[in-house]
A and B are shown apart, each in its own frame.
Chain A
Amino acid sequence: MSDQPTTAVDLAWNVRNSVSKAVDVVDEYLARIDERDGEINAFNLVLTDQARERAAEIDEMISLGRDPGPLAGVPVALKDNLCTRGIPTTCSSKILADWKPPYDATVVTRLRDAGAIFVGKTNLDEFAMGSSTENSAFGPTKNPLDTSRVPGGSSGGSAAAVAANFAAVSFGSDTGGSIRQPAALCGVVGVKPTYGAVSRLGLIAFGSSLDQIGPFAHTVRDAAVALETISGHDPGDSTSIQQGPLDLSRTLDSGVEGLRVGRISDLPKGASPDVEERLEAAFDALREAGAEIVDVEMPAFNYGLTAYYLIAPAEASSNLARFDGVRFGMRTPAPDTNSMYTATRTDGFGAEVKRRIMLGTYALSAGYYDAYYGRAQKVRRLIANDFAAAYAKADVLLTPASPTVAFKLGDKASDPLAMYLCDTYTIPSNLTGDPGMSVPFGTGEHGMPVGVQILAPALKDHVMFQAAATLERHMQNHQDQNVSGS
């Protein structure tokens, strides 16, 4: 096994051109999982048999001269909040531990139709609530680059699966940074596309107006292909945008000549010096590549976190009300219906989920709605105004993806506020529905990776990818520029 993992694009090319067999590719990945996932715990479930069967089908198609699709034979991991027909989908919660959906999420169908092979369902913070994947009912996931550290969250399992090369591409969901932050902490590419670019049908909802599915990948191009595959209108999701798949690959190598890259001058402080340093290096790299750096002001950016922790829990309190023990999932028996609800939800949900349900219920309650949920929605509009003003001056914005590199397991587990601050830089674009992605850009403290976040206006995902590809090329050409851990 070489140091550089094979990209999904290369894997698919090899399989489609009979250079390698899908069954061999899958066996190689399954062997790695078998060898190392006991330690990492990226997966809630490894689909060994299904993956091998599917790989054999792909090879069969090739031998019959049929094209299995752009992701032919590519091992893919799915966050365990994406519904898979007949395969347990748990959200890393006791309440859904044995639940098998009777249907596939739209993204799952599209990936299968593109020839992808599902190797497993990945761990997450319960119901995607958290930033370290420590809030899982099935134990935490460890960062493959340093197993004493967290992989970030909530899509920590999916980020770790790619970082450990258990899968060439994986998928997560991002409600407040749950793809971008773990991507940064695990040193992989992670994308939250424009809200509505990818169908949410079959994604178990956390905050419906914020949730968006996106890919993790080793390279920007892999992420582009993965996102192209899952995007495009779905009549089954009313909030899905009425247009075809995103076109990202075509302009991927166009560079950033003349691109206006925004620096948020009043960005909330709190990023550690190593992260700040890498962000500066990213600005330099883009400038070097022909971009123009412009200053923008976004006074409301700082309020994103507060607004988010009212809106997301409010929606979650409603979305998670259906887990009542009546129709599916866990049920704790009790003498009457109301006590059954209480007993089931008390036993089934973990502490963080309960905390957010209570927060959200309170924020929506009669007499408090205007002060909390109502005001948060107003702040949301202010942030959108800020972004609109910023995007009048800049084509993309650059920020840290995470304030720090990966922290130690247990460091923030008992301090929810410290944990919430992990998402300071990622949350605003969930509130506005704009795309954002994290690209690995060298390392910081302890030799751990740093991710730079690129933000772009809605449906300008391809511009964001152009900047990301430029940063990636810069890193390939300047491996020596990494900040060494102290």
Chain B
Amino acid sequence: MSITYVNDDGYYPSNEEHPRWEHEGYEMVVGLEVHVELATRTKLFSSAPNRFGDEPNTNIDPVTLGLPGALPVLNRQAVELAMRLGIALNCTVQKSTFARKNYFYPDMPKAYQISQYDEPINIDGWLDLPDGFRVGIERGHLEEDTGKSTHVGGAGGRIHGSDYSLIDFNRAGVPLVEIVSRPDIRHPDQAKAYVTELRGILVAVGASDAKMEEGSMRVDANVSVRKPGANFNTRCEIKNVNSVRSLGRAIEYEAQRQVLLHEAGEPVVQQTRHWDENDGRTHTLRSKEDADDYRYFLEPDLVVVDPGIEWIEAVRAALPVLPSERRAGLAAITGLAAHSEAIMVVTDRGHDGFVMDVAKHGGNAEIALKHLQQLPGAAGVPAEDVAKLTTMEASGGLTATQAKQVLADMVEAGGGDAETIAAGKGFEAMGNSELESMVDAAIAAQPEAWEKFCAGESKAMGALVGAIMKASKGQADGKAVTALLNAKKS
């Protein structure tokens, strides 16, 4: 899909508050095109199985191979998954049509791809990043995937110069949704956050497993740079970005490359560029002049897709809770920011529900969140056991370090009573008087350090705390020690 924008129409004003990448007075303008394989049982237009990793050319049938006389029949499940995704991205779901995109390539069986062109199923939505930055969604349309070519011999695995090519048609006809963002992204981190958030939504609504490494989620980036406020400049499309990390690197490299060209007074040529993970650069793949004329026209073998208001509303009603809402839920019970690392990580792992359960059992949500972030296995322990542990820790009955060890035992045993395990480990709660005598002993042993600490050299505290921890065999609560030292100072 290729859409050309010239200005910021539709850009969300609230985005102005967010950081922008800047280089030599230029900002970047980035739009992303994400292809996602839908998790359907069968292909988009036939009953051949949609399954990754099978023996080559086993999930095929006459439609997949484009045999003469074969006709496509649209997969209802694919339409439903596309609608789920569209609704989750705040899109309007509309009456849609399919077109033929004509070009010759050996892994394109019919020599045309059936794709939604001027009337896509999902239009005009948005995706809010965890920090509140809003990226407009232009469209999310259905199309079929191609087969997969392996070029043997020659250089670089390209078709040109290879000895021969092998084609696996298992992937041909697999349903894809292409999600085209508006060119709203202004920072590589936003691009990364967008893909991460989109992935979370895809998994949440069951539309796709969205694995970049398996190719079930593929990201192309359209990058240009400009002086803020100016019209958009010529863009380049970057392909072959295989991880979220690479996406950030590729965008940053490409933006810098374009800034250098602009500064040198050289034109940025509209082209498709290939990201090379090894040298960390983008390289010319093909320029616009080489682009095929796809000769789009309405696919006469298919009819208009009109899901109707009832189906759309049924899909909307059945939509699961999205990651953003789940994060908001955790933020509300922990008091942390919704896009704090702990909340992001725990929600992404799908353990937010467990933290909520701990809270329901009277546990301390913030402490539970911290433990879940550090020890994902804890989600396999009964929530009430973890609840008791967090309560003990919150009341000072266990130090954080002790709690961690108790929890590790629980994970191993599949649960257990926190108090019993703590007692078994000799983690009797250290009384304040016991701790105080340890503190006094440490001060007496290191008078110089104590003097420096009292004079305001906070570094000196380290030596004192270290001695106390040693004396307590690591069982003293760091926070309590610091508090005691500060109290004695004044």
Contacts and interface: CB of A to CB of B under 8 A. Distances in A.
A83 B297 contact: no
A321 B112 contact: yes
Given A318-B112, A327-B109, A238 B302 contact: yes
A79 B70 CA distance: 17
A230 to B, nearest CB: 15
Nearest to A362: B295
A224 interface: no
A204 B69 contact: yes
A203 B297 CA distance: 21
A237 interface: yes
A200 interface: yes
Interface string A226-242: 00000000011111000
B149 to A, nearest CB: 10
A415 to B, nearest CB: 29
B300 interface: yes
Interface in A297-333: 314-315, 317-318, 321-324, 326-328
B301 A239 contact: yes
A204 B68 contact: yes
Interface in A354-376: 361, 364-366, 369, 373
B109 A208 contact: no
Most chain A beta-carbon neighbours within 10 Å: one of B68, B112, B167? B68
A366 B293 contact: yes
B278 to A, nearest CB: 27
Interface in B66-82: 66-74
A96 B167 CA distance: 22
Interface stretch (B99-107, B245-253, B255-263, B420-428): B99-107
A337 B296 CA distance: 23
Contacts of B303: 238-239
B244 interface: no
B106 A337 contact: yes
A429 interface: no
A355 B104 CA distance: 19
A315 B110 CA distance: 13
Contacts, number: 101
A101 B301 contact: no
Contacts of B301: 205, 208, 238-239
B104 A341 contact: yes
A121 B160 CA distance: 42
A201 interface: yes
Contact of B66 (A89, A209, A327): A327
A102 B73 contact: no
B66 A322 contact: yes
Contact of B300 (A203, A208, A336, A373): A208
B300 to A, nearest CB: 4
Contact of A238 (B68, B71, B293, B295): B71
Interface string B7-32: 00000000000000000000000000
A137 to B, nearest CB: 15
A326 B71 contact: no
The listed residue with most A CB atoms (<10 A of its CB), out of B66, B67, B165, is: B67
Interface string B332-353: 0000000000000000000000
Given A238-B74, A321-B102, A364-B295, A96 B66 contact: no
Contacts of A337: 106, 159, 165
Contacts of A341: 104
Interface residues of A, number: 45
A365 B167 CA distance: 29
Interface string B197-227: 0000000000000000000000000000000
Given A238-B302, A239-B301, A322 B109 contact: yes
Contact of B297 (A82, A314, A324): A314
B111 interface: yes
Interface string B289-310: 0000101110011110000000
B65 interface: yes
A205 B67 CA distance: 11
A457 interface: no
A99 interface: yes
A105 B72 contact: no
A318 B295 contact: yes
A202 interface: yes
B73 A236 contact: yes
Q: Which of A89, A323, A324 has the most CB of B within 10 A?
A: A324
B456 interface: no
Interface in A223-273: 235-239
Given A322-B66, A322-B110, A237 B71 contact: yes
B462 interface: no
B115 to A, nearest CB: 13
B62 interface: yes
A324 B67 contact: no
A82 B110 CA distance: 18
Interface string A178-213: 000000000000000000000011111101110000
Nearest to A207: B300
B74 A327 contact: no
A364 B111 contact: no
A205 B69 contact: yes
Contacts of B167: 326
Contacts of B73: 235-238
B297 A373 contact: yes
Given A103-B62, A337-B165, A364-B297, A326 B68 contact: no
Contacts of A204: 68-69
A41 to B, nearest CB: 23
Interface in A373-392: 373
A318 B100 contact: yes
A83 B68 contact: yes
B69 A203 contact: yes
A322 B68 contact: yes
Nearest to A196: B303
Nearest to B293: A366
Nearest to A105: B69
A322 B111 contact: yes
A102 B295 CA distance: 30
A315 B104 contact: no
B293 A365 contact: yes
Q: Which 9 A-B pairs have the closest CB atoms?
A: A321-B111, A209-B300, A364-B295, A208-B300, A83-B69, A204-B68, A202-B69, A322-B66, A366-B293
13 contacts: A83-B69, A101-B67, A105-B69, A201-B69, A205-B68, A207-B300, A208-B300, A236-B73, A238-B72, A318-B100, A318-B295, A365-B295, A373-B297
Interface of B: 62, 65-74, 100, 102, 104, 106, 109-112, 159-160, 165, 167, 293, 295-297, 300-303
Given A321-B111, A326-B109, 6 more contacts: A96-B68, A201-B71, A205-B69, A238-B303, A364-B295, A366-B293
